[in-house]
């Protein structure tokens, strides 16, 4: 059985936000319950930013746990089973899987499950290829498409590593496209600020160039260093007597890039 429904107490989802007596969204659909997706879902729930919260993930045990914990109102491995009526979709899957998600979103728009101005965002660490993937699927880019990248993470991954405070005092880069509506940008900015982040606009190509140096290169160096030392004959002594700087590298190497 793919779809999982559960009746939960949604009192927390209707509490007042600092800027409004009503939740910012009627229904948020998070696609991917890894560290970032689950943490954002928890932050949305804890801050009362959506009337309903649903999710899509191929790992159904995560969906089941999220419902049992009261985080989700419904979940499924299939987008079409839970997405109807969503006014915000957050794509939190690996970059290479995003185009397939866009195909499912377009199908939901075509059959009337989603409004054509539904806000669509992502949390991926590269932006140009996300935009290219959208162009390959949609005839014209949706007015609600707002590529984004929260500069936050941890060495642990998966649903169990979620933290509602993960984004507090961290930056979120938003790529404002010429086709994107001002309302979509404003609402997404309000969402991220409500969960404690600072929003920074940036052009997609510039984002990718900057992050290649500040995030992707350190990950690559850390992975290569740890892999080489792990294969060394004296690796036990190397790791036993490593100092703090090396431990920082191993923490980066253990994280999900």
Q: Is a pLDDT exceeding 80 seen at residue 111?
A: yes
pLDDT in tens, 34-50: 999 999 999 999 999 99
Strand pairing of 74-76 and 3-5?
antiparallel
- Helices (H) and strands (E) counted in the chain, each on its own, are 9, 10
Q: Is 23 left (phi over 0), alpha (psi -120 to 50) or beta?
A: beta
pLDDT band at 11 (very low <50, low <70, confident <90, very high): very low
Q: Mean pLDDT in the chain? A: 84
Please state, in angstroms and rounded to a whole number, the distance separating the CA atoms of residues 60 and 63.
5
Q: Residue 135 in contact with residue 17, Cβ under 8 Å?
A: no
CA atoms lying within 13 Å on the CB side of residue 207 = 25
pLDDT band at 3 (very low <50, low <70, confident <90, very high): low
Domain residues of the chain, as ranges? 25-202, 208-253
Q: What class does CATH assign to 25-202? A: alpha beta
Q: Is a pLDDT exceeding 70 seen at residue 234?
A: no
Q: Which range is least confidently modeled, 158-162, 179-183, 236-240?
A: 236-240
Residue 218 vs residue 80, higher pLDDT: 80
What are residue 201's DSSP bridge partners?
Answer: 174
- Report percent pLDDT > 70 for the chain: 73
How many residues are there in the chain? 257
- pLDDT for 9 equals 29
Tell me how far apart the 2 most distant CA atoms of the chain are, in Å. 63
- pLDDT for 251 equals 52
What are residue 213's DSSP bridge partners?
Answer: none
Please state, in angstroms and rounded to a whole number, the distance separating the CA atoms of residues 116 and 125.
25
pLDDT band at 211 (very low <50, low <70, confident <90, very high): confident
- For residues 151-165, give the mean pLDDT: 85
């Amino acid at each position: 059985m793919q779809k999982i429904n559960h009746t939960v107490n949604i009192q927390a989802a209707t509490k007042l936000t600092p800027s409004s007596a009503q939740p910012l969204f009627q229904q948020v659909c998070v696609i991917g319950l890894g560290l970032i997706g689950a943490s954002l879902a928890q932050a949305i729930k804890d801050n009362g930013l959506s009337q309903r919260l649903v999710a899509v993930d191929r790992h159904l045990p995560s969906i089941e746990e999220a419902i049992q914990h009261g985080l989700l109102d419904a979940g499924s491995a299939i987008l079409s089973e839970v997405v109807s009526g969503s006014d915000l979709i957050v794509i939190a899957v690996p970059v290479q899987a995003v185009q397939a998600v866009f195909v499912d979103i377009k199908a939901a728009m075509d059959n009337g499950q989603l409004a054509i101005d539904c806000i669509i965002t992502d949390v991926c660490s590269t932006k140009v290829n996300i935009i290219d993937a959208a162009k390959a699927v949609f005839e014209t880019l949706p007015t609600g498409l707002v590529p984004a990248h929260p500069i936050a993470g941890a060495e642990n991954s998966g649903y169990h590593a979620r933290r509602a405070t993960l984004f507090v005092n961290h930056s979120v880069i938003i790529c404002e496209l010429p086709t994107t509506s001002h309302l979509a940008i404003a609402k997404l900015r309000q969402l991220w600020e409500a969960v404690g982040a600072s929003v920074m606009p940036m052009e997609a190509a510039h984002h990718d160039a900057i992050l290649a140096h500040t995030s992707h290169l350190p990950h690559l160096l850390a992975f290569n260093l740890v892999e080489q030392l792990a294969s060394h004959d004296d690796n036990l002594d190397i790791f036993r007597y490593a100092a703090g700087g090396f431990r920082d590298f191993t923490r980066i190497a253990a994280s999900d890039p």
